[in-house]
Amino acid sequence: MSSLLALIYLLASIGFIVGLKMLSRPDTARKGNWVAAAGMAAAIFGTIFLYSDAEVERLGNYGYIFVALIVGSVGGWWSAKRVKMTAMPELVSLFNGMGGACAALISGIEFNHLLHPMHATAPATSGQVLIIVLGLVIGTVSFVGSMVAWGKLNGRVKDFSFGGQLVVNLVLLACMLGLSVYFVMTAPGFLATANYATPILVFALVLSVAIAYGVLFVLPIGGADMPVVISLLNSFTGVAAACGGFLYSNKAMLTGGILVGAAGTLLTLLMCKAMNRSLANVLIGSFGGGSKTQGQGGQAITGSYKQISLSDAAVVLSYANKVFIVPGYGLAVAQAQHVCHELEKLLEEKGVEVKYAIHPVAGRMPGHMNVLLAESDVPYEKLLEMEQANDEFSTTDAVLILGANDVVNPAAKTDTTSPIYGMPILEVEKAKTVIVNKRSMKPGYAGIENQLFFQPKTSMLFGDGKKVLQDLVAEIKNL
């Protein structure tokens, strides 16, 4: 049986790797999801029915196990099925938090086993205790941080910061690391002499500090920075799951955790680069909505903006040779992705080449705009990454910006006093004409005016994104 289970774990690991590879392309992503899910299902049922060791001939409590599987599966499926695209980031945070909670619970259970020698097959070692405390710390921070992010994204939790929060975060981080090191160095000795009080106290302190750090780490971070945080917390969950794989010598769990941790870390680095932030800056939670510098600085903008009528905008787009659409979070809020795709198809019928320019941190989670547009069946080949789009803007007749703001602000390149200076942006100002759809002239998340809106080639098209696009489609049809 053990050989068969090892084979199943190998196949599950291959399923995770192949599934992740397939997720890199939209046309294979759905199949990749199923392949990875099949690998996970094989690992779960293989463990349930084939696992055995010297202490346990077979797993028991099948009733509890299958009730939990059914409740979790149905709840997860129902939540994902009914979620609105604007709420997708908070659902991702919630699901990610559950992974972190599982890893922390595993550490708690295994520590409890060490407190009861009849459940332990051998005395506790420093390596075993190290893995337990790593799973506890990383899993707890991931869970608590994800729950705070979930609350912030759905509006239940507000941005909050206070003077000296950076120092407090660093002190908490130092305490968490110090207590963890002390726990690893002393717990095996205390447990060997049946002195359980000290390890239990230190374990509880590590858990408490990790909870506090998880809250304060995410609490000051604003919505525009959430893609970085979600990606980072996702990598935390993967690493915590890998710790569980080490504890149980489970190859499938270890492989899955490493894949998630590595992918999340790489994506976090890409997100940091896209927002011109360092990873250290993210880890100490010193940026975001509560930052003292947020919205301050920036050169004063002189001049005025000009508006464009629906009919004029329809003419500009209809008689262009190439049009770029730049989606932002406002498009998701307006739930206008379907009518946006309708506009794209209508323009193409008139012989206009239409593409989409996607900024890496547009939206509230990594890939938010890609998922949003995929929901409305926009072909993936039309979605250009920032570098590709910037190469083509100079040959573009018109750019239609839908709900994006800071990611197209030229101040990021020209104004050294701007809070967003140095952040790579979509260089839409290179196009011949720029049309910006916004509800008002209210600044974006950075709290600064957008220089783009006051440039001669830029025109503002005010109104709700969905209503404006519907009216624009009607105007184009009447031309």
Catalytic residues: 406
Name the strand (E) or helix (H) holding 364.
none
Distance CA 339, CA 129 (A): 55
For residue 25, the 8-state DSSP code is: S
- 431, amino acid identity: A
Q: The sheet that has 398-402: what strands, in order across it?
A: 383-385, 353-358, 322-327, 398-402, 433-438, 458-462
Instruction: Pull the structure tokens for residue 244.
Output: 């569980």
Burial class (CB in 10 A: 0-12, 13-18, 19+), 11: middle
What is the per-residue DSSP string for 78-136? Answer: HHHHH--GGGHHHHHHHHHHHHHHHHHHHHHHHHHHHTSGGG-SS---HHHHHHHHHHH
Q: For residue 383, what are its two tokens?
A: 């979605």
Do β-strands 322-327 and 398-402 pair in parallel, antiparallel, or remain unpaired? parallel
CA pair distance 147, 52, nearest whole angstrom: 35
Cβ neighbours for 89, distance < 8 A, ≥ 6 positions apart: 153, 226, 230, 363, 364, 365, 368
